[in-house]
């Protein structure tokens, strides 16, 4: 089985906080264990927003603030389906090895 890893950059809805040293960014990783494509949506106060498509068995590496909410979406019978909601601390990795 081939596993693809995707790294992504931070997206800000406004320019209030991208250079704010007080907003600590956490290194995070999410692996799609489903046999279908999903969409990972992350959002936090201060204008942080991230939305990425993650293919089956693919790994998404990203950085996010501590207060980020994570939603995992897929397609149900003709409409979007919320598959899971996660706390950002469930996706946090201790080291930057996930980015190698």
Return mean pLDDT, the chain.
81
Pairing relationship of beta strands 59-65 and 5-7 according to DSSP bridges: parallel
Closest to 13 (Cα-Cα) out of 55, 41, 53, 54 = 41
Spatial distance between the Cα atoms of 11 and 48, rounded to a whole number of angstroms = 6
Number of domains in the chain: 1
pLDDT of res. 20? 58
Predicted confidence (pLDDT) per residue in 10-34, tens digit:
554 444 555 555 568 899 999 999 9
On whether the pTM is more than 0.75, the answer is no
Burial of residue 14, with CB atoms counted within 10 A of its CB: 0-12 exposed, 13-18 middle, 19 or more buried: exposed
What is the residue range of 26's domain?
5-99
Q: Give the E-state strand segments of the chain in sequence order.
A: 5-7, 25-31, 38-44, 48-54, 59-65, 69-75, 80-87
Judge contact between 25 and 63, C-beta under 8 A.
yes
């Amino acid at each position: 089985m081939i596993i693809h890893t995707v790294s992504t950059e931070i997206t800000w809805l406004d320019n209030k906080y991208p250079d704010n040293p007080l907003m600590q960014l956490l290194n995070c990783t999410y692996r799609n264990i489903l046999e279908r494509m999903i969409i990972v949506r992350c959002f936090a106060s201060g204008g942080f927003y991230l939305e990425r498509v993650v293919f089956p068995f693919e790994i998404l590496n990203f950085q996010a603030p501590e207060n980020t909410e994570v939603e995992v979406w897929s397609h149900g019978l003709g409409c979007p389906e919320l598959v899971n909601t996660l706390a950002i601390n469930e996706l946090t990795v201790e080291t930057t090895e996930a980015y190698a």
